Structure 1
Amino acid sequence: MAKSSLASRLYQGEANIQIIGRRKMWFTVAAVLVAISIGSFIFRQFHLGIEFAGGSEFGVPGQVAGQTLTSDRVYDSVEAAVHAVDPNVQVNAAQQVGEGAEANFKIRTAVLTPDQMAEIKAAIAADLGFEAGQISDQQVSSAWGGAVINKAILGLVIFLILVTVYLVFRFEWRMAVAALASLLLDMIVTAGVYSLVGFELTPYTVIGFLTILGFSLYDVVVVFDKVQENTRGITAGTTRTYGEATNLAINQTLMRSLNTGLVALLPVGGVLFIGAGLLGAGTLKDLGLVLFVGMGIGVAASIVFAAPVLSYLKDKEPRIQAHNARVLARRAQRVEEAAAKGENLTAADEVPVFAGSTTPRPGARPAQKRGGNRPGGKRP
């Protein structure tokens, strides 16, 4: 029979992609990503939005007298007006919101007094040819952003406690630890990417972080549910080690994880690359980036990090250690017996690839017993 394609074997869970066997590599990759992220937190830090840092903001229309203004032109005008009032005030780069006639520019500065803001608006209007009333302004206190962060941390703590309780009762404490480790990796790396890119930290970012929590754990629970199914009563046999059964579960749920992640990332990618990139909706990029990166890393972590962490923890359990030793000893014995008979057999040949080697494939007919189960007993 012709060998099936990779895509077909992936959908049937027969690809036998080795994830657990390379767990040291995955742990090393995770450690490097965490180190880079923490380094970014320390050296680059986060670009706080006005809601968290506090300050003043000016809104300047993108067109005047039928002429379209550029971000550089608007920034130079605002910077000159601000520094004429106070040379020590920092002026952030102009951010364009919208396109065409609806376009406008947002420029943020440090906190200014009402009198200073009025003087700056008059100077900008005179320089660019606007009426002072066409330029909007607002002030935001950093206390509001601090309250948002405190509420978000409280919500995160409550969420983690509830999830931990659920995972311990639904599975076991080792699976809860592995799931939380995967979630922590997702959050740290996502925050690291956000810090490296330099996007502003806004309330939309906080909303995005809270959103990816549930998505990240969803895929982990799907994988762990299959792991639990494959390892139920595993110590009663000598077919697979715990790591091999876990690796099989990953292969059996791999396409589901990838399809789910792809379906989720497509609309988020549209928000990030089309909405924020092409259409210039700057407020969408704060939410789009954290969702896109967080969901992508969450899917990857559930496959190459959560399950390997679980396998590592279970391999430390004495009962599983004894079972793994029995499985490996049995394989070594069969290899020796084959060698004595002149057969070319290795330990790798003894590892079952598909669940059907011990479990019928979905849709297969159950084996029929002869004789005693038929009415009237055995045939003469």
Structure 2
Amino acid sequence: MSRLGTLGARLYRGEVGYDFVAKRKIWYGVSILITITAILGLAVQGLNLGIEFKGGAVFTTPKTNVSVSQAQSYAEEASGHEAIVQKLGSGGLRIQVSELNQTQANKVADTLAEDLKVPMESAEIVGPSWGEQIANKAWTGLAVFMLLVVIYLAIAFEWRMAIAALIALIHDLTITIGVYALVGFEVTPGTVIGLLTILGYSLYDTVVVFDGLKEGSKDITKQTRYTYSEIANRSLNGTLVRSINTTVVALLPVAGLLFIGGGVLGAGMLNDISLSLFVGLAAGAYSSIFIATPLVADLKEREPQMKALKKRVLAKRAKAAAEGVSAEDSGEPEDAETGDVAPAGAVVGPRGNRGRGRPSGKRR
């Protein structure tokens, strides 16, 4: 078995782990800082809306030796507006000029044909209403999706998990849109498709952890070994390697589209979808580990039953430590290395690592 596989098995059994939940205030602070940066970028920089949302004309040329920068200069001079030029796979050019009507577009097409010394294959007029319709439908779909997610998670798990998942989704979307504003990528219908696509990826890891947490917290008040936060942390560690693996596997092809397809080959349409997918997948993996599960633990620990359970757990551990009783004899979790009673928030094995940590080092 590989080292990663061995680590995953040890995390799943609770033999090793990292206390994500106990350090949740750090993760909250990082997320708030990133979110504020994204919102400021959106407010100051704004989104670079594509022609589908602003309206204008799209010109396509056959294969030409004219460079992108030179064609952009010709288009802006002929139209008097900002132009976006993309190199096509066939060697031709796709020239976008916003805020042009049909009459103006025809004049620009004739001027470009002379300047570029190639005929225009097409001159298509795009109205802003089409982009507005797409945006409105996207917002409607997003609202319906989030409503259904909240209802489903509230029924399948509980309302606290539904609230945590919703906050994580909003977190992911805000960061992705903010990155678009900061880098200045053009927002097209492909961007909208990418944003809607990442919602499913964002929920996947979160639901996997929630399922393990639901199973692990059954009859939790009938025991005094773990608090709710500790069980939440165990569930998170148990799925950590799986989350990392699935995220990396999903990010690799998207990174290929973004950096190779968009950056090297200059395929603009790939940029629109791949950037939103890349940022959204990374943000979704982060939020499922550092935001969603710690939020659930925070909400649950406010319940009177969970507060009472935490008191009983801590009191029993303190008593066991004072009497010098081993974790196994006291029914408390035992540290795998030292045999000492684990403190609150520690990650320990589900079977208490029996037979370890005794002075004789022998098993019963």
TM interval, short-chain normalised: 0.7 to 0.9
Superposed, which structure 2 residues align to 1:25-174 within 5 Å?
25-63=26-64, 68-83=65-80, 90-98=81-89, 102-131=90-119, 134-174=120-160
Q: Does residue 201 in structure 1 map to residue 163 in structure 2? A: no
Distance verdict in 2 for CA 1:81–1:170, change over 3 Å: same
Match of 2:281 among 261, 275, 295: 295
1:105 to partner: Cα distance: 2.5
After TM superposition, the structure 1 stretch with the greater mean CA deviation from structure 2, 303-312 or 115-124, is: 115-124
Q: Using the alignment, how far apart are the partners of 1:32 and 1:233 within structure 2?
A: 37
Q: Does residue 12 in structure 1 map to residue 10 in structure 2? A: yes
Distance verdict in 2 for CA 1:39–1:334, change over 3 Å: same
After TM superposition, the structure 1 stretch with the greater mean CA deviation from structure 2, 289-298 or 114-123, is: 114-123
TM-score (norm 2): 0.87
Q: Using the alignment, how far apart are the partners of 1:287 and 1:18 within structure 2?
A: 35
1:355 maps to a residue whose letter is: P
1:162 to partner: Cα distance: 1.4
Query: Gaps spanning 5+ residues in structure 1: where?
Result: 84-89, 360-380
Distance verdict in 2 for CA 1:245–1:76, change over 3 Å: same
1:110 to partner: Cα distance: 2.8
Q: Using the alignment, how far apart are the partners of 1:344 and 1:303 within structure 2?
A: 29
1:356 maps to a residue whose letter is: R
1:336 to partner: Cα distance: 1.6
Match of 1:336 among 311, 322, 340: 322
8 Å contact kept, 1:125–1:135: no
8 Å contact kept, 1:121–1:135: no
Local SS of the residue matching 2:18: coil
1:208 to partner: Cα distance: 0.9
8 Å contact kept, 2:86–2:266: no
Deviation per residue, 1:290-337 (Å, 9 max, x gap): 111111211111011100000110111111011011111111112222
8 Å contact kept, 2:233–2:347: no
2:10 maps to a residue whose letter is: Q
After TM superposition, the structure 1 stretch with the greater mean CA deviation from structure 2, 258-267 or 220-229, is: 258-267
RMSD (Å), alpha carbons = 2.3
Local SS of the residue matching 2:17: coil
- 1:369 corresponds in structure 2 to none
- 2:307 corresponds in structure 1 to 321
Local SS of the residue matching 1:215: helix
- 2:349 corresponds in structure 1 to 354
Identity of aligned residues (%): 41
- Select the structure of larger CA radius of gyration: 1
Distance verdict in 2 for CA 1:351–1:330, change over 3 Å: farther
Q: Using the alignment, how far apart are the partners of 2:348 and 2:321 within structure 1?
A: 17
Local SS of the residue matching 2:266: coil
1:35 to partner: Cα distance: 0.4
- 2:331 corresponds in structure 1 to none
Q: Does residue 244 in structure 1 map to residue 230 in structure 2? A: yes
Distance verdict in 2 for CA 1:288–1:6, change over 3 Å: closer
Q: Using the alignment, how far apart are the partners of 1:242 and 1:281 within structure 2?
A: 49
Deviation per residue, 1:214-257 (Å, 9 max, x gap): 11111111000111111111111111111111111111011111
Query: Gaps spanning 5+ residues in structure 2: where?
Result: 326-337, 355-364
Q: Using the alignment, how far apart are the partners of 1:162 and 1:285 within structure 2?
A: 30
Deviation per residue, 1:267-297 (Å, 9 max, x gap): 2222222222222221111011111111121
8 Å contact kept, 1:20–1:243: yes
Q: Using the alignment, how far apart are the partners of 2:102 and 2:231 within structure 1?
A: 67
